[in-house]
A and B are shown apart, each in its own frame.
Chain A
């Protein structure tokens, strides 16, 4: 067999080649679990962020926890990096393969082990799809609350790695709030139980730091998730506003009035015009911003809450209000929002989805700055926004076949993320840092803080072999990036309270 080398990366002299890795792995797992021919490994070269690609020298698809242990022990012995991968739907290149490493796919861990209605929890393997958990729990009247847009395809192991959210997380929380226990294999092959099926566990909260660690601390082999009772009813209010500011005000007033909507989403004019011809949801085309605000619960509760929501929106200057009158209509209202990404793909050859979070009160400031950037970078941008929790998804539209548009899109994206940090927010709300936003980490964190992240990594993975060179930038990288950018220490809006 031929060793596959990536032209751009110089191999370390002592690094074992593909043939050696495959030979060693044959001792750890059955031969059919190892892929190394290019036609077999090509599908693993990227995740959902296809801008970043790397052909893995070897892909392993273990079938048992013991095999995962054996693979990790083998790689530790050979000093070979390991990148774990779930369904590969990530949007930040978090599971992009390492040029000299093993890609560890967990797709075969696809069993739901148990569902217990009395404790409202389920034990599942990491490769189980997010939506499959809710489907399996449905006969008990329960479901798994975090619902990232990719929930048909994304796996729970990947959700744990990314701390995934969804449109309902203002009310129901993120992955970290809905996972009770994780069983994982550390890089040295040891099995570690984090959390427990009780509501807490002794010692420091290692589960909390493990969730969202982007596959850098351990390989998940089992997860216990919390399930919640499915509400009897859900209805959504759709409201139009003649400015983004007015819509932002309406969001603030809703929250201040004591309502926690089950979902609260905003779309700007461009996003509305992008999706309406595609889904025909009946969106108001003459408006600057649309809010979708959902209430769930018992019939009495929903009727009461919808009434209060409508009152708040009317007071905030809504120009049009519509309440879903049936489940079909509710789904239709949501269809536009949920199809924003495919709609972007329909109006533009390529789009680049950003993922910053900002304090909600900064929304108008940030959106008008993004508008100015459109001219600066010569690209259009549509905005969809998890308005309830401040998570902004600007969709930068570009054409990769045109000269320098990829580069301009990337620079535009980076500028948006840095703006998010400047107004007191963060470079990633739910997609993760991966390889994509590693430079912006230099903007959000000081060197001492980044070093502390490295310290956490070493505590779990002393040899730093699990998904290395992701998430935490090196000193050299930040120095290089810093030449072009102002550090968070010199902030553009010194008036803002922050820390």
Chain B
């Protein structure tokens, strides 16, 4: 952040905010652009969708839900990036197996769009994440620390938020577990897998998630959202197990 040099004739300066102090403002002046998840009620609860160019934080409810959280983070990144730009996946280390590109393709995310960045330790991860989020080139960045990630505290999340606001790159922080610590993220989510809508012969169906919106800036928390990912139309639909498997998409979209 650079401060402008003081004007030579200080007494002639027009009244108004001093340049340089504007940068340290508490709230953004303009309301952020938003991207919808596709479920009308949830988007309504979020005030018209998730804010683009902000930091969103999520973690799995239990250790087994880690792939569900990773999947939801990637789908959120896909929604945030739209058709523009690369999605950068910045991971500290792959303890729960590595992200599998054919599996991404099966979720409707083109693996060619994804730039993989591996960081050896948390400090490097944080620095690389800062660089990526500060750059306007990528569409979205998913930051995946391993373990409790103590360096990713309130200050670090505040920095990431400011970078994202300045560059327009949406940042998604995928934690390994509930951090039990304050964060400056615009929304914080707890993600768990949900039983999918069974296909014929009791086969597992499309990915389904249970989401708890624990905190959102300027909004109320809400719990127990059950969503299903519709890969062919690239948006979320409400998960309803009452419907038969062949009820068709139109009815679901209306719900």
- Chain B binds chain A: no
A contacts, CB < 8 Å to B = none
Interface residues of B (CB under 8 A from A): none
